[in-house]
Chains A and B, each alone.
Chain A
Amino acid sequence: MSATLEAARSADPKSSPPAMSGNKVSVFYGAKQALFEVDLDIERHQVTSLIGPSGCGKSTFLRSLNRMNDTIEGCRVEGKITLDGQDIYDRSIDVVELRARVGMVFQKPNPFPKSIYENVAYGPRIHGLSRNKAELDDIVTSSIRRAGLWNEVKDRLNEPGTGLSGGQQQRLCIARAIATQPEVLLMDEPCSALDPIATAIVEELIDELRENFTIVIVTHSMQQAARVSQKTAFFHLGKLIEEGKTEDIFTNPKNKQTQDYITGRIG
């Protein structure tokens, strides 16, 4: 617990423009509005955590950041979301390329039913990021290393990814997500299916990854948000209630709803 808030150690002031920026983002599922005019900046090389009760819109917002919502029938996004200043809902945007730049890791580890090597090689291959086998090998190796999985799998790269433990599978999914060199990594409750040790390893990894990537994480664990993120945004009933430095949110939130939620009171 002593290191909890220390995670905010290098929440540096806005020296560079945000990696992603949401401006009055509203999301509708058919007639039902799930998100109401959310303004939120995702700062570069920081971990931003989105917290809030179930159905508050945090996952909806996360999914709109790489247009995962496009796959849901009847889903409509209003407002503007930019990646490096570019509107990601613009017609000229290639969604497949966008998702290579804004990668995603899901709640349940979901490796492809292929070998460990192929799981990681798949993305770079379809995006043409390597010219030959040697380059591809390099990408796969370095991605697995960065995901902190190398020592555990280096001798079994040709075995199926599904044969790994849950924590290892999740790190394999992270390796797969970073293999395409994304700028932003979205994580939707990446540790909720993992045991505490695997969770700690993934959290450690998240802290290391933010050196090279910008990370947005949805989590139901308040302690996790406090541990891993520099910025926290609290959602409730589709609205962004409060955002700020993680340290401030967890020691001295300004909003009563935030206070009630993070302290486990009835809101």
Chain B
Amino acid sequence: MSTLNEHIVSSFEDELTNLNKSISEMGGMVEQAITESANALLRLDHQKAQDVRQFDRKIDEMQQRINDAAVSIIARRQPMAADLRMVVTAIQVANDLERTGDMAKQLAKRALQIETLGLAPKFYNGVKHMTELVARQLKMALDAYLARDSKAAVEVCNRDDEVDALHTSLFRELLTYMMEDPRNITQCTHLLFCAKSLERVGDHATNIAEAAYYLETGLHLAAEAQQRSPR
């Protein structure tokens, strides 16, 4: 069932293709937002941080457009089977992307708050590493979704443990800095919140990967995993 024939009604085919394109476009926007906001944070770039906050409005609009398109397809075409899954997951994925965009906005906000404080590289190395990891997760999840690749989707889900582990170790690390010198507390607390936001991005990437799995197979990944390895 990998390759589908074209719809008899070509305008329906176009609408589905456009929906997919919109998801791809929105995904690109959100990936960019995450990278830029992390850069703004690490380089304490005021302008970039402002830009990300502005950009979030565009991401929100995009989500609205995707939702409207999906609702319109459901109302007028009554999609079935793979088409139905495509439309439903588009709504889900757009929602996760919008939330991810919010996380980028949070990071940008933090950047504006700590720009006066100045950061030592040893403090933000962990956050930097974590940003790279979740950005990769997000990209892989989106690729899996757009390519309808359930195997790649499973891989993304399995890798979420890495993000969680990194988050935990970062938490400990920042705690140590705070104990070393109470003057670090303000910066490290900000960074802790950033780490939390990034961890959430990882969760949204997992959600998108789960949607990708459902899109291709019609099955729920969590339930599948449980069946395969009953602990």
A residues contacting B by CB (< 8 A) are 1, 222-223, 226, 250-253, 256, 258-260, 262-267
* Contact with B218, one of A1, A223, A251 (Cβ below 8 angstroms): A251
Q: Is the CB of A252 within 8 A of B218?
A: yes
Q: Is the CB of B74 within 8 A of A222?
A: no
Scoring B residues 1 to 38 as 1 if CB is less than 8 Å from chain A, else 0, what string do you get?
10011111100100000000000000000000000000
Question: Can you list 30 A-B contacts with CB-CB less than 8 angstroms, sorted by A residue number?
Answer: A222-B80, A226-B80, A250-B80, A250-B84, A251-B85, A251-B218, A252-B81, A252-B85, A253-B81, A258-B81, A259-B82, A260-B4, A260-B5, A262-B80, A263-B4, A263-B7, A263-B81, A263-B83, A264-B7, A264-B8, A264-B9, A264-B12, A264-B80, A265-B4, A265-B6, A265-B7, A265-B8, A266-B6, A266-B8, A267-B5
User: Which residue of chain A is the closest to B12 with respect to CB atoms?
Assistant: A264
Known contacts: A251-B85, A251-B218, A252-B218. The answer to whether A263 contacts B1 by CB under 8 A is no
User: Interface SS of chain A: helix, strand, loop or mixed?
Assistant: helix
User: Which residue of chain A is the closest to B75 with respect to CB atoms?
Assistant: A1
User: Interface SS of chain B: helix, strand, loop or mixed?
Assistant: loop
Q: How many Å lie between the Cα of A260 and that of B8 in the bound state? A: 10
Apart from A251-B81, A252-B218, A263-B83, what 11 extra A-B contacts exist at CB < 8 Å?
A: A251-B80, A252-B219, A253-B81, A256-B1, A262-B80, A262-B81, A263-B81, A263-B82, A265-B5, A265-B7, A267-B5
Q: Which of B44-98 contact A (CB under 8 A)?
A: 74, 78-85
User: Which residue of chain A is the closest to B85 with respect to CB atoms?
Assistant: A251
Number of interface residues of B (CB under 8 A): 20
Contacts of B78 in A (CB 8 A): 1, 222-223
Scoring B residues 205 to 228 as 1 if CB is less than 8 Å from chain A, else 0, what string do you get?
000000000000111000000000
Contacts of B81 in A (CB 8 A): 250-253, 258-259, 262-263
Scoring B residues 89 to 112 as 1 if CB is less than 8 Å from chain A, else 0, what string do you get?
000000000000000000000000
Known contacts: A251-B84, A253-B81. The answer to whether A259 contacts B1 by CB under 8 A is yes
Contacts of B219 in A (CB 8 A): 252
B77, chain A: closest CB distance, angstroms: 8
Which residue among A250, A263, A267 has the maximum number of chain B CB atoms within 10 Å of its CB? A263
Q: How many Å lie between the Cα of A266 and that of B6 in the bound state? A: 7
A148, chain B: closest CB distance, angstroms: 26
B8, chain A: closest CB distance, angstroms: 5
Contacts of A251 in B (CB 8 A): 80-81, 84-85, 218
Known contacts: A1-B78, A251-B218, A252-B219. The answer to whether A266 contacts B84 by CB under 8 A is no
User: Which residue of chain B is the closest to A259 with respect to CB atoms?
Assistant: B81
Q: How many Å lie between the Cα of A252 and that of B84 in the bound state? A: 9
Contacts of A265 in B (CB 8 A): 4-8
